[in-house]
Amino acid sequence: MKTIVGLEIHVQLATATKLFCGCSTDYRDDEPNTHCCPVCLGLPGALPRLNRKAVEYGLRVAKALDMEVLEESEFARKNYFYPDLPKAYQVTQYDKPLAVAGTVEIEDDEGHEKIVRITRVHLEEDPGRLVHVSGASKYSLVDYNRSGIPLLEIVTEPDMRSPQEARRFLNKLRTILEYLGVFDGDREGSLRVDANVSLEGSVRVEVKNISSYKGVEKALTFEVTRQKNLLRRGQTVTRETRHFMEGRGITTSSRSKEEEHDYRYFPEPDLRPMRVADWVAEIDLPELPVARKNRFMAQYGISANHARTLTGDPKLADFYEEVAHLDPALAATWVADTLLGELNYRNMNIAAVPPGRIAELLGLLKSETITDKAGVQVLREMLDACAAGRPCDMPAMIVKRENLGKTTGDDFTATVQAVIAANPQAVEDYRNGKSGALNFLVGQVMKETRGRADPRELGRIVSESIDIGEV
């Protein structure tokens, strides 16, 4: 049974003020209901005034996705009652959105290039936020600080064929948004997804308000399995809206799916239609991920995989360009593989790492002052200091303090002899043609020398020592 997935992505635009008023959007560390005014609370007589920057950000996204900006777009009222929507309607765009017909290129599950079509992008206001009180089942609190923050809704065609494709699409889209500078991924709730999923020949089910990429993949995986099991048992899949419970990894029924007529859309009488198509030509886009990846490969001579990883985050790409001057290939390997892995392990951001210190470390590696293994130890000490808020020592100081400088053959001959003497079975295995035994012996010497020896030189010395009978 073929899986069919379409997504509706709600992106909080990184403007300083809300969509229709001057209230600040930076509310993360402030008390609830302190970033509100009569406009975003929907009080009688309050009139909206459109945020020009939000429109510009929407046009940036439309241009980056190669969309057609409509000659005229307008806002509408979407009527429904919910506790976090004080007006009992949401100001959004309906039949005249900002732009239509775009594309995003991803890899499908077979590794081939695939186009996901973008149906439309439109602007709308965010509702407030319900805060469920711990231990209280009878009521929730409402925080209107978020109410009125500008959202850009990006709607795709049902072109994805698996939860994995949906996650790859979201990763690609998020990268584009970050390059455009319209989106703050560190803000809680800055990107939320409604996923529409069905099996070929069956009805569509909507899973609402998924707040992470992993969550989208998990929710879709569960929902596809649930629908397949229903059909295999001869039961019917119900057209409905479901809620993803991230802690349990399941979806639960929320309500029957609303139809468009349930919302009773009509044009917003307090906002005039927009004519902004001519504005698009004035908008200059930054270098986008695909262009930057191609430039990295051409300019720095690095592999496609390294270029793709390094340009997957604009901050990481900027960091790489700061440290690549000494040896682009060496820098690509250490930043894309080693550094990124250590950061992920510590749940750290690249912004916490001083690029000058990494450049110094790369200099020690290029000059062969330290081995790769010692370099990893130096890197870990630097990152541990950054994570703890301590000053990050210079790599050369760590090397001197921990005695990590690269040694020569004369420095560890005695250690080689001791390891050979302590492991007669491995020696015998090596003499019998088992190459893995040599790797084991080299590893033991590396352990004793704390990674200060060159593994290639060690392999030669251990092999020669065994061959001439030094036991």
In angstroms, the first-to-last Cα distance of the chain is 65
Distance of alpha carbon 311 from its chain centroid, rounded? Answer: 12
Q: Compute the CA torsion angle 387, 390, 392, 397 (nearest 10 deg).
A: -130
Backbone CA torsion sign across 226, 227, 231, 237: positive
Distance of alpha carbon 234 from its chain centroid, rounded? Answer: 39
pLDDT for 411: 59
pLDDT for 471: 42
What ranges do the domains of the chain cover?
3-282, 289-402, 409-467
Length of the chain: 471
pLDDT for 463: 67
Main-chain dihedrals φ then ψ at residue 383, nearest 5 degrees? -70, -35
CA distance 184 to 271: 27
pLDDT for 247: 79
CA distance 170 to 212: 9
pLDDT for 299: 95
Main-chain dihedrals φ then ψ at residue 248, nearest 5 degrees? -100, -15
| CATH code for the part of the protein at 409-467 | 1.10.10.410
User: pTM for the whole thing?
Assistant: 0.81
Q: Per residue of the chain (471 residues), what is the pLDDT tens digit?
A: 799 999 999 999 999 999 999 999 988 778 999 999 999 888 988 999 999 999 999 999 999 999 999 999 999 999 988 888 888 899 999 999 999 999 999 988 888 889 999 999 999 999 998 887 766 567 788 999 999 999 999 999 999 999 999 999 999 999 999 999 998 877 766 889 999 999 988 888 999 878 877 888 999 999 999 999 999 998 888 888 898 887 788 888 876 655 556 788 999 999 999 999 889 989 999 999 999 999 999 999 999 999 999 999 999 999 999 999 989 999 999 999 999 999 998 888 898 899 999 999 999 989 888 888 888 888 998 898 888 888 888 888 888 887 777 665 555 666 666 777 777 777 777 677 676 677 777 677 677 666 666 666 666 666 667 765 544
Residue 179 near residue 152, CB atoms below 8 Å: no
Q: What does the pLDDT look like over 108-140, one tens digit per residue?
A: 888 888 999 999 999 999 999 888 776 656 778
pLDDT for 387: 85
Residue 70 near residue 274, CB atoms below 8 Å: no
Q: Which residues pair with 197 in a beta bridge?
A: 5, 205
Name the token pair of 300.
């720095």
CA distance 86 to 43: 8
Residue 244 near residue 215, CB atoms below 8 Å: yes
